[in-house]
């Protein structure tokens, strides 16, 4: 029996004893902030809690354990966590048995854990991104009576891939293929909180995917901060394109997605693999960040406006049905109005199907944090509105090309607003709503797209 399984067994005994004292099965609520990597980490955390005897809930009120898996990519994500902690204090006062936990990227950031201990002394457990595998043992310490357990590690404390997971969807799953990042973009704190880049062995990844497919998974999303640089440092080097070829061979697997792709590492070989694949989804998230060469150089992005557009052109030539989405930052410290115009120009020429558009958020410890700001918040806000409006206009027009077509949709669930409708996603990742029965959830079905509503479609099932 491994140390991790020993910890979970001991935790299960402690949870049972506390349940007997309180007279009910302990309930746990895991709240996730941030990216798909955090979502996948939370599935592992939920799996541990469920295996240990907790009943999972989506309600903080009445829970016996509340865990926030935090994000720190932007300041507003951190402030949301602190705001929720203030509210959580009331729950702690109502229920002294309540266990409060914080983990994730914000806790890994220099000084954040100490600030939490100072401002929110009722938080019981704090751990970082590098020691999720140690969560059972850390939680056991809290249940056993240790006050304010804190463990933030700089290096990984073992793999957590073998830990149990509680997936959000039984028919699709994220799969971590690598961790960390070596790019050190000037605005980004990820390398400091997720650590340096390290890839998993291809055989280990394939084994996990095969296991997921046996468990009913039809779609996997390969996850990494920069999947295009996968394989560097492995004893038997293999690049991302080669990994995709092997993943595609998995019997029973129907769809493959991946993110995130850095433009500087997206090879012609990868484009060829994508174009020739019958399983790789026709969606690529390709962060732009800025359309200005000067800003891109300041950001340490290693590509230019024209090289980015050339890449988009090659992708669309190889896969005309490909949907490309992106990330855009407005208000980088040295950005001028002319730089914003360059960004808007790229949005129009690249014809993105969607973009996550953000106002720059200063993150302590990054190179950009020391740069002087050249524009006031009002002007930055106006620029943001212009970029966002352009994105909305371009993407809405771009999506219309699918109207009237019969396309495959992976049904994800019953529509939350109208139970007569099902909701699912195209290979291009666009949401589709159409009439149907709940029995179709988890299936890939043909749907004729009857109307484009900006960022989603209405449709009719056509078997």
| CATH label of the domain that carries residue 75 | 3.40.50.12160
The whole-number pLDDT of residue 1 equals 39
CA atoms within 13 A on the CB side of 205: 27
User: What is the spatial distance between Cα 46 and Cα 69, in angstroms, rounded to a whole number?
Assistant: 11
Q: What pLDDT was estimated at residue 58?
A: 94
The residues that bridge with 355 in the sheet, in sequence order, are 326
How many other CB atoms are there within 10 angstroms of residue 98's CB atom? 18
Give the list of residues 6+ apart from residue 357 with CB closer than 8 angstroms, or none.
Answer: 327, 328, 330, 384, 387, 388, 391
Residue 298 lies in a domain: yes
The helix (H) or strand (E) run that includes residue 318 is helix 305-318
Whether residue 94 is contained in a domain is answered as: yes
The answer on 386 and 306 residing in a single domain is yes
Q: Is the pLDDT score of 4 beyond 60?
A: no
Does residue 437 belong to any structural domain of this protein?
yes
Tell me: do 11 and 64 sit in the same domain: yes
Whether 180 is covered by a domain: the verdict is no
Whole-angstrom Cα distance, residue 253 to residue 293? Answer: 40
DSSP 185: -
* Arithmetic mean of pLDDT over the chain: 94
In 215-304, alpha helices (H): 240-248, 268-276, 293-299
Of 163-172, 316-325, 353-362, 385-394, give the lowest mean pLDDT range: 163-172
CATH number of the domain bearing residue 307 = 3.30.750.200
291 lies in which domain range? 282-400
Asked, for residue 121, whether it belongs to a domain, the answer is yes
| pLDDT confidence tier of residue 340, bands split at 50, 70 and 90 | very high
For the stretch 151-203, pLDDT in tens is 998 887 766 777 888 999 999 999 999 999 999 999 999 999 998 999 999 99
Q: Give per-residue pLDDT as tens, 228-250.
A: 999 988 998 899 999 999 999 99
Q: Are residues 431 and 336 in the same domain?
A: no
Rounded to 5°, the CA angle 429-433-436 comes to 125
**Domain match, 289 and 408 both:** no
β-strand pairing of 406-414 with 421-426: antiparallel
Are 93 and 132 contained in the same domain?
Answer: yes
Q: pTM (2 decimals)?
A: 0.92
Residues of the chain with pLDDT > 70: what percent? 98
CA distances 138 to 38, 81, 142, 160, Å, are 19, 21, 7, 14
- From the list 231, 177, 235, the residue with the least C-alpha distance to 209 is 177
DSSP string, 345-388: HHHHHHT-SEEEEEE----TTSGGGGSPP-S-HHHHHHHHHHHH
Which CATH number belongs to the domain containing residue 413 in this structure? 2.40.50.140
Kindly tell me if the per-residue pLDDT of 210 is higher than 80: yes
Cα distances (angstroms) measured from residue 95 to each of 50, 123, 125: 21, 13, 17
User: Under 8 Å CB-to-CB from 435, ≥6 apart: which residues?
Assistant: 420, 421, 422, 460, 461
């Amino acid at each position: 029996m491994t140390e991790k399984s020993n910890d979970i067994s001991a935790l299960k005994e402690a949870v049972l004893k506390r349940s007997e004292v309180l007279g009910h099965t302990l309930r746990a609520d895991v709240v996730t902030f941030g990216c798909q990597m955090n979502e996948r980490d939370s599935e592992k955390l939920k799996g541990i809690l469920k295996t240990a005897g907790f009943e999972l809930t989506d309600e903080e009120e009445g829970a016996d354990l509340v865990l926030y898996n935090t994000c720190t990519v932007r300041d507003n994500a951190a402030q949301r966590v602190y705001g929720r902690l203030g509210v959580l204090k009331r729950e702690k006062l109502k229920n002294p048995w309540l266990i409060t936990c914080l983990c994730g990227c914000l806790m890994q950031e220099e000084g954040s854990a100490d600030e939490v201990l100072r401002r929110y002394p009722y938080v019981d457990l704090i751990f970082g991104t590098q020691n999720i595998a140690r969560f059972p043992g850390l939680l056991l310490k809290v249940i056993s009576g240790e006050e304010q357990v804190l463990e933030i590690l700089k290096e990984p404390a073992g793999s957590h891939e073998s830990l149990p997971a509680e997936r959000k969807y039984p028919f699709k799953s994220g799969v971590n293929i690598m961790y960390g990042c070596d790019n050190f973009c000037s605005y980004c704190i990820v390398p400091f909180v997720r650590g340096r880049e390290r890839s998993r062995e291809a055989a280990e990844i394939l084994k996990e995917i095969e296991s997921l497919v046996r468990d009913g998974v039809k779609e996997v999303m390969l996850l990494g901060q920069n999947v295009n640089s996968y394989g560097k440092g492995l004893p038997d080097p293999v690049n991302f394109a080669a990994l995709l070829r092997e993943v595609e061979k998995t019997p029973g697997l129907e769809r493959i997605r991946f993110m995130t792709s850095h433009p500087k590492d997206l090879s012609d070989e990868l484009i060829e693999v994508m174009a020739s694949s019958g399983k790789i989804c026709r969606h690529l998230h390709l962060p732009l960040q800025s359309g200005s060469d000067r800003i891109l150089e300041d950001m340490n992005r290693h590509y230019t406006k024209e090289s980015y557009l050339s890449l988009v052109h090659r992708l669309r030539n190889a896969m005309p049905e490909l949907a490309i989405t992106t990330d855009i930052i407005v208000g980088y410290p040295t950005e001028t109005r002319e730089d914003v115009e360059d960004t808007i120009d790229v949005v129009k020429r690249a014809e993105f199907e969607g973009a996550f558009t953000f106002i720059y958020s200063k993150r302590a410890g990054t190179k950009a944090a020391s740069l002087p700001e050249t524009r006031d918040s009002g002007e930055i806000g106006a620029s943001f509105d212009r970029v966002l409006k352009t994105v909305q206009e371009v993407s809405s027009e771009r999506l219309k090309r699918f109207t009237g077509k019969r396309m495959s949709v992976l049904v994800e669930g019953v529509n939350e607003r109208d139970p007569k409708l099902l909701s699912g996603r195209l290979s291009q990742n666009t949401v589709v709503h159409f009439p149907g029965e709940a029995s179709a959830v988890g299936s890939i079905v043909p749907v004729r797209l009857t109307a484009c509503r900006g960022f989603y479609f209405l449709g009719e099932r056509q078997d």
